[in-house]
Amino acid sequence: MKKSHRNIIAAALVLAVLAGAGVMLSRRNAPPQEAAAAKPALTVTTVRPETAEMPRRLVANGNVAAWQEAIVGSEAGGLRLTDVRVNVGDTVKAGDVLAVFAADAVQADMAQATAALMEAEAAAADAANNAARARTLKDSGALSTQQINQFTTGAQTAQARVEAARAAVATQRLRLRYTRVLAPDDGIISARTATVGAVVPAGAELFRMIRQGRLEWRAEVTATELGSIRPGAAATVAAPGGASLAGRVRMIAPTVDVQSRTALVYVDLLPPESGALPVRAGMYARGEFDLGSAPALTVPQQAVVVRDGFSYVFRLNPDNRVSQVKVRTGRRLGERLELVEGVAPDALLALDGAGFLNDGDLVRRADATPAAAGAATATASTR
């Protein structure tokens, strides 16, 4: 009895397995009409790539630096600073007094040199009179030719002492002028080492200034990108706070750094209408070079889906299923992106809803005409 029960159970299991296999075979061999009747995953709109003129831009980074930095030093040595009239950040004009040295010692030397000049001029006048009288006695025989020559030489020597005394006076006058440190050009004071009461030697640095307040952006550009930039090209530099500065390429460095393989492109920053640059020397800034325009194959930005760090588009096939295609994007203009490679110009791409699609999904075109939709359904049903 027990053995017959076991046989019955075994037979039932065999029948169940055979029934399941039959169902799977029937589903596998189901007619295409059942597959075509599958429900679309999403309704999407479609778009084809368009060719449009897009600006060519080259992005680079670099430091903001002074166009030229002037060093203002002491030209009179051994004098004491009595007044410092400017500080870091002050704007100065050419000829403005930046600092003043004590002039007492120089004025005393000036007075001494002036007195020596007057003494030399008096001696020279006396020697010139003696030489003139000696020459009048030349024919009388009262003085020998040697004596006359001595008087003439004495007059010339006295005149030379006068010239030396005048040079000493000019030197002291120059030293007196050097007691006032003047700005060599218009600009902005960027550094100051001058301290009231300090006795500085000649040539010691007192101030640094940015000449004419001009700043430049020194962009670092790779050797391969260097050929596309020309002097005079327009550039835009992004300043902190969101402001943008216009610039123009002044020159390109004649050499490339052997370590980084980059070259410097010097861009003059044009001050805005307000006159104040929103950047400072020493800042690190990002900018773009305007290299004109060129045609590009573009699509709306929402047609491109970014997944796992790569860009994809979904191409609509004749059977209303989509294929996920990897693409490489390029320039951006407003809401449109350039497709550098990956799709043909006549490809039909999913637009709205592309971000919710997966490879192989069945979709419905919202922008298809009824006739086109019926034709697509017929095509899918006959496959």
**383 residues of the chain, pLDDT tens digit each:** 445 556 666 665 655 655 555 545 444 454 444 444 568 878 889 999 998 888 888 899 999 999 999 999 999 888 999 999 999 999 999 999 999 999 999 999 999 999 999 999 999 998 888 888 787 877 676 777 788 788 888 889 999 999 999 999 999 999 999 999 999 999 999 999 999 999 999 999 999 999 998 999 999 999 888 888 999 999 999 987 777 889 999 999 999 999 888 999 999 998 776 666 788 888 999 999 988 888 889 999 999 999 988 999 999 999 989 999 999 998 888 888 999 888 888 999 999 888 889 999 999 888 654 433 443 333 333 33
Alpha-carbon distances of 63 from 190, 215, 245, 256, 268, rounded to whole Å: 17, 10, 14, 17, 12
d(CA 339, CA 331): 8
Nearest to 248 by CA among 264, 228, 223, 231: 231
Domains, the chain, ordered by start: 32-48+304-381 (2.40.420.20), 58-67+214-293 (2.40.30.170), 72-209 (1.10.287.470)
pTM over 0.85: no
